[in-house]
Amino acid sequence: MVVDKLEKSQLKFTFDVTVDEFEKALDESFKEEVKKVTVKGFRKGHCPRSVFEKMYGVEALFEGALNVVLNNKISEVVKDEELTKTFLGKFTPNLESKIERGKEFKVSLTIDTYPEVTLPKYKGIEVKAKNLKVTAKEVDEAIKALTKKDATKEVKAEQVVAKGDYVTFDFVGSVDGVEFPGGKADNYELQIGSGQFIPGFEDQMVGMKADEVKDLNVTFPEAYQEPTLAGKEAVFKVTVHKIEVEKFPKLTQDYVQSLKIEGVTNSEELKANKRAELEANKETQEKDRQVNDIINKLIDSAKVDMPQTLIDERVNQLRGQYEQQAKMYNIPFDTFLQLMNINKEKFEKDTLEQGTRQALFSVLANKIIEDEKLAPTKEQLEAKAEEEAKLHNSTKEKMLAQYGAKYFNDMAYKALTDLLVANAKEI
């Protein structure tokens, strides 16, 4: 047996097949092939070898014999238990020379293996410093979002449309002067700037006055859900009737207390509460950004001879997520991509690139976790399972059996990202 290392972390095992070895394989092949034929004068499966070969030729046994040989060679390879642990996917067999009875020939087995990893520098990676500043405007917007359920509308004093206003209007849409189905409505209410209409529509309404009539020129997106309108230029005749503004409740003590937020009894405490909430969210977002930047830099600097098996696994997972969504909506996958405004060729290209990077990071992450001893201990996993069991009215054993792998991956990943961020260099 000759072992060669190939590109993409493949191993190729090449074997000499002796005349005697192949003859024994032919014997095994005949035992199976004879069961499939019926020869006049003999019970099925009892045809003599000489008669079989005269009728069908010895070549009829070659394929079966080759399979016997290859299975024997696989058994020979997997005797090395340490080497076998690195194997990924299935063996790819190949006939290296022509089979001729009475002559030696060569066969080979190729298989992907888990790659050897030389880690790039993963400590001291430069990342942009966190921006945790929360502005007064952001606090006000958060409070508005909280109190929006109690907001009211009132007619705007100056009846001129601005972003954020609620406008009641009629519209009639046409393409090449012909009205199209679904392109007409009366007394439609829209908040300008909400992005509900096609691009350009709402922007052109800004500055219109009550009772004004105006033609809006727009173009439907190329991936518009109605194929007959996709990419078409259209004109919408708009008649404005009423312009309203949203009025939010005053933050009186009684109103703030009615919100029933723990520890909040007045407007100042409400602002402090929202500020703390926004700061916590920014901390999470900024850490995620730093982690993402570090991971991308780690991937870009890594040099690993990635096996195709690991890449294919990730690509298939990503594609499967989209296919599952298409099934949920009960539509063909190609149609789903069109509705998502995704070009199929670009989807395949992007999925391959994303899957390749994810597979590479997984390999790098596993190596760092191993080197830094970041894997959770048995005690940590049991503590997590105990905690989850209390929340789900279950037992530690059941939670471990069902979610043990997830706990392990989540805890190891958190330990990894904490390490990467803690050792990054902010600039």
What does the pLDDT read at residue 44? 87
Nearest-10 crossing angle of helices 396-422, 267-301: 80
pLDDT per position as a tens digit, 161-194 = 999 999 999 999 999 999 999 899 999 999 999 9
What does the pLDDT read at residue 342? 85
DSSP 375: S
pLDDT per position as a tens digit, 292-330 = 999 999 999 999 999 999 999 999 999 999 999 999 999
pLDDT at position 401 over 90: yes
Neighbours of 425 (CB within 10 A): 10
Domains of the chain: 2-113 (3.30.70.1050), 152-247 (3.10.50.40), 267-426 (1.10.3120)
Q: Which of 154, 243, 236, 180 is nearest to 206 (CA)?
A: 243
Note the pTM of the prediction, 2 decimals: 0.77
Q: Let me know: does 198 contact 171? Beta carbons within 8 Å.
A: no
What does the pLDDT read at residue 302? 96
Average pLDDT of span 8-20 = 97
Neighbours of 269 (CB within 10 A): 14
pLDDT per position as a tens digit, 18-36 = 999 999 999 999 999 999 9
User: How open is the CA angle 253-258-263, to the nearest 5 degrees?
Assistant: 75
> Cα–Cα distance between 133 and 130 in angstroms, integer?
9
pLDDT at position 124 over 90: yes
Q: Let me know: does 41 contact 51? Beta carbons within 8 Å.
A: no
Residue 391 CB partners (closer than 8 Å, separation 6+): none
Instruction: Tell me which of 394 and 340 has the higher pLDDT.
Output: 394
H helices of 329-395, in order, are: 333-339, 344-371, 378-391
Average pLDDT of span 403-411 = 97
pLDDT at position 41 over 90: no
> Cα–Cα distance between 210 and 33 in angstroms, integer?
89
Give helix then strand counts, H and E, for the chain: 13, 11
pLDDT per position as a tens digit, 64-103 = 999 999 999 999 999 999 999 999 999 999 999 999 999 9
HSE (CB half, 13 Å, CA atoms) of 374?
A: 20
Compute the mean pLDDT over every residue in the chain, rounded to the nearest whole number.
95
Q: Let me know: does 242 contact 167? Beta carbons within 8 Å.
A: yes
